[in-house]
Amino acid sequence: MTTYTARAIPSTVLARLRVTDDAGRPCVPFVAEEGGGPLRCCLRAAVAGERIALVSYAPLRRWAAEAGVDPGAYDEQGPVFVHAEECGGPAPSEAYPFVRGGVLRAVRRYDAAGRIVGGRLLELSEAAGEEADGAFAEAFADPAVALVHVRAVEYGCFLFEVRRP
């Protein structure tokens, strides 16, 4: 069971990304041939035959706009997979998405000004959910931490966000 809430890309943001992504490029849907790509709209892996898109997304930019801060150089953007059409978002789950034994994750911490204030490399075992819970608890034990981004180490891709409870 998870203690913290993994946040998908909000539907209002997805609607814009499905037209023009955060790099200003048009969305180009395609059919997933093999599946497995981590969908940030519903926090599950794509299934072969689904219409998906690879778009550029700047996750900290959206949070910073809500918070009224300028993340400066930390406003990075990168590729994320999303469904090409509205999907209804994530189903309730008792597990963190994209967190499984044998993978490496970067848990990046940000303060209320949108600046990186630390991070941690997380090598997950079969107790991946417990280890993720521990990393989030450790991050939020620091009162300066406002939110956490989880990223795939292999590609550096943003996977999901966790905000201070």
10-residue stretch averages of pLDDT, the chain, 165 residues long: 89 97 97 94 97 97 94 93 96 89 94 96 90 95 97 92 93
Q: Which amino acid is at 113?
A: A
Nearest to 134 by CA among 159, 103, 102, 99: 99
For residue 151, the 8-state DSSP code is: E
Q: What is the Cα–Cα distance from 124 to 15, expressed in whole angstroms?
A: 33
Q: How many CB atoms lie within 10 A of CB 30?
A: 11
Name the DSSP letter for residue 63: H
- State how far the Cα of 164 lies from the Cα of 104, in Å rounded to an integer: 22
Report the distance separating Cα 92 and Cα 69, nearest Å.
31
pLDDT computed for residue 156 by the predictor? 86
Query: What is the model's pLDDT at position 51?
Result: 98
Query: Does the pTM of the predicted model rise above 0.75?
Result: yes
pLDDT at residue 20, as a whole number: 98
- Residue 94 near residue 1 (C-beta atoms within 8 A): yes
The distance of Cα 100 from the centroid of its chain, to the nearest Å, equals 15
